[in-house]
């Protein structure tokens, strides 16, 4: 009986000892008494959670609390979900490479295939120990969610929502409310008519605490014959503000290559005219000047060489440039450029709606994003490309429009 009691006592002591060890181990994890792990092991645990959604909880609990201060499990889960979406574009992680900076570590994820760079950004404490920073995770989650919100507004064709996201980027001096709204409307039209990629095929090509870069693989080209890629970059500008770089091509039309008077197309850059036709259409000019240098030559009716010249025809507020033959009294040639400027008749416009005296805001409302192209438009008409340039005075009033063949 005493032997039996002794065996029972020893067994009970052993069980209590083992139980105590387990409790001590668990308590260490809960209270943050785990010894720190290396930067490589911390990186491995995060990558494991990114690669395998089922491993998120295990990876999180394996990271000492001191190396994930103020990072909740839900925050860690949201972060690894975002990183998983980006990482899966390349496949499965095969290895990683760590570099140290003054304020932390950067772990580059390496893949057997795929060329989209993916990085983990780790902070470090005063002892140089790597840790997951709640600020870094928060910034990455925020910039990602902001991009998702922006693309949702575009999907929904919510022009008011797009306008609300764009407005904080500009002061009144940069863009007026009307110009920003026109830009929002142009973006909505572009995504509706030209973007053929579905949202789940958008590629995140860069994700940092301060920015996200998204590549849209299939966008119909301006001529409608090809697919191009389109890139969007969203950058954190302050604690609660973001800048959106989503510059879309300028849409122009053939009317910009016409001189129009009261709705009637008077002359078209690229067409051939004689002096009598131009004078009948527009009126007699103030003066005509002939360039000295011959551009080309042809045989005249009497068999002699006749040289091509620049023929400059001046009207009040308007100048027409031809390349042709003849003299100041009688000539024929191709209209290769024209300008309208101060002094032109109020009835004259380029295209159907551009007149001298318009404000920069009005031009921006007609052609959103034109400020990003230095107020220069291009129109392609098959084999010929035209350039349309706008000039303004110090008060942002349109003073000249120049149209020319390129």
Predicted model pTM: 0.83
| Rounded CA separation 402/387 (Å) | 8
Q: How many CB atoms within 10 Å of residue 127?
A: 6
- Tell me the C-alpha to C-alpha distance, in Å, between residue 377 and each of 131, 256, 332: 51, 9, 28
Task: Write down the pLDDT at residue 14.
Answer: 33
| Rounded CA separation 355/358 (Å) | 6
Q: Please compute the mean of the pLDDT values over residues 42-47 and round it to a whole number.
A: 98
Give the SS3 label for residue 284.
Answer: coil
Q: Percent of the chain beyond pLDDT 90?
A: 79
| Rounded CA separation 355/317 (Å) | 11
pLDDT band at 115 (very low <50, low <70, confident <90, very high): confident
* Closest-CA residue to 368 (of 253, 249, 220, 222): 249
pLDDT at position 18 over 60: no
Domains in the chain (CATH in brackets) are: 22-132 (3.10.450), 138-245 (3.10.450), 254-405 (no CATH)
pLDDT tens digits for range 174-221:
899 999 999 999 999 999 999 999 999 999 999 999 999 999 999 999
Taking all residues of the chain, what is their mean pLDDT, rounded to a whole number? 89
pLDDT at position 1 over 90: no
């Amino acid at each position: 009986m005493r032997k039996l009691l002794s065996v029972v006592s020893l067994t009970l002591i052993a069980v209590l000892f083992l139980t105590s060890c387990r409790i001590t181990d668990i308590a260490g994890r809960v209270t943050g008494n785990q010894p720190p792990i290396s930067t490589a092991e911390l990186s491995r645990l995060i990558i494991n959670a990114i690669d395998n959604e089922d491993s998120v909880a295990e990876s999180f609990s394996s990271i000492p609390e001191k190396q994930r201060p103020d990072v909740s499990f839900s925050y860690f889960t949201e972060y690894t979900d975002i990183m998983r979406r980006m990482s899966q574009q390349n496949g499965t992680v095969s290895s990683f490479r760590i570099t140290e900076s003054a304020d932390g570590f950067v772990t580059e994820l390496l893949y057997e295939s795929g060329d989209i760079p993916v990085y983990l950004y780790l902070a470090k404490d005063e002892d140089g120990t790597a840790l997951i920073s709640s600020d870094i995770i928060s910034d990455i989650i925020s910039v990602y969610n902001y991009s998702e919100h922006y693309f949702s507004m575009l999907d929904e064709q919510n022009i008011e929502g797009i306008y609300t996201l764009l407005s904080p980027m500009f002061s009144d001096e940069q863009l007026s409310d009307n110009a920003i709204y026109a830009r929002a409307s142009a973006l909505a039209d572009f995504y509706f008519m030209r973007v053929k990629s579905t949202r789940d095929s958008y590629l995140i090509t860069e994700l940092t605490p301060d920015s996200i870069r998204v590549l849209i693989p299939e966008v119909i080209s301006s001529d409608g014959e090809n697919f191009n890629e389109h890139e969007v970059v969203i950058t954190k500008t302050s604690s609660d503000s973001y800048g959106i770089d989503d510059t879309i091509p300028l849409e122009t039309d053939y009317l910009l290559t016409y001189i129009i008077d009261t709705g009637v197309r008077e002359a078209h850059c690229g067409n051939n005219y004689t002096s009598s036709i131009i004078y009948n259409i527009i009126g007699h000019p103030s003066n005509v000047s002939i360039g000295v240098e011959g551009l080309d030559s042809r045989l005249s009716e009497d068999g002699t060489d006749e040289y091509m010249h620049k023929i400059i025809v001046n009207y009040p507020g308007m100048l027409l440039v031809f390349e042709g033959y003849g003299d100041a009294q009688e000539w024929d040639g191709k209209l290769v450029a024209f300008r309208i400027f101060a002094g032109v008749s109020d009835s004259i416009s380029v295209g159907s709606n551009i007149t001298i005296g318009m404000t920069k805001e009005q031009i921006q409302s007609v052609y959103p994003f034109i400020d990003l192209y230095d107020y220069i438009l291009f129109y392609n008409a098959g084999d010929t490309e035209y350039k349309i340039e706008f000039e303004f005075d110090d008060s942002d009033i349109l003073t000249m429009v120049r149209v020319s063949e390129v």
